[in-house]
Amino acid sequence: MVDSKKPRAIGFNHVALEVGDIEEALAFYGRIFDFELRGKSRTMAFIDLGDQFIALQAGRRQSADDGRHVGLVVDDKQAARAALKAAGVEPLGGPFLDFRDPWGNRIEIVGYDNVQFTKAPNVLRGMGLTHLTKNEGAKKELAEKGMAES
């Protein structure tokens, strides 16, 4: 329901994950993902996701996440599975490709082709990912919301 008196939430600019040491976190995530940094300080690092980013912030003190997680979209889910294995990271049990980083952040890996989340064509072009497509299920979800490609 849209209420013109309240702002409408329309997306995420970034997600912040609390980690231990920033350099250790960058090394860990660098074994799994190809990424570029937007910026970095002693206590923060910003991993570029095109028109979005993940902020890594030093200072994790809570226990490991269980149901709470971040769904991270990748261009190639099978390559992510192989990278996790090569990095010695054991996926969590269940129907999805989930893992925990060394600080207990739970990450779910989702293939771009399989979700209605869509990057704008100009963003995909800027990221060098114009080859990405959606599977039929994702296309149907988008069409049902009036968001199919024209």
Token reading at 107: 């990450």
Please say whether the beta carbons of 105 and 18 come within 8 A: yes
Residue 30: what pLDDT?
A: 97
Residue 150: what pLDDT?
A: 66
- Residue 61 CA to residue 147 CA, distance in Å, equals 41
pLDDT in tens, 37-86: 999 999 999 999 999 999 999 999 999 999 999 999 999 999 999 999 99
Q: Specify the DSSP element, H or E, that contains 127.
A: helix 121-127
Task: Enumerate residues 6+ apart whose C-beta is below 8 A from 128.
Answer: none
- Residue 89 CA to residue 102 CA, distance in Å, equals 9
Give the confidence band of 10 by pLDDT, cuts at 50, 70, 90.
confident
Please say whether the beta carbons of 102 and 20 come within 8 A: yes
Q: Which fold has domain 14-60+68-144?
A: 2,3-Dihydroxybiphenyl 1,2-Dioxygenase; domain 1 (3.10.180)
Which 3 state secondary structure label does DSSP give 148? coil
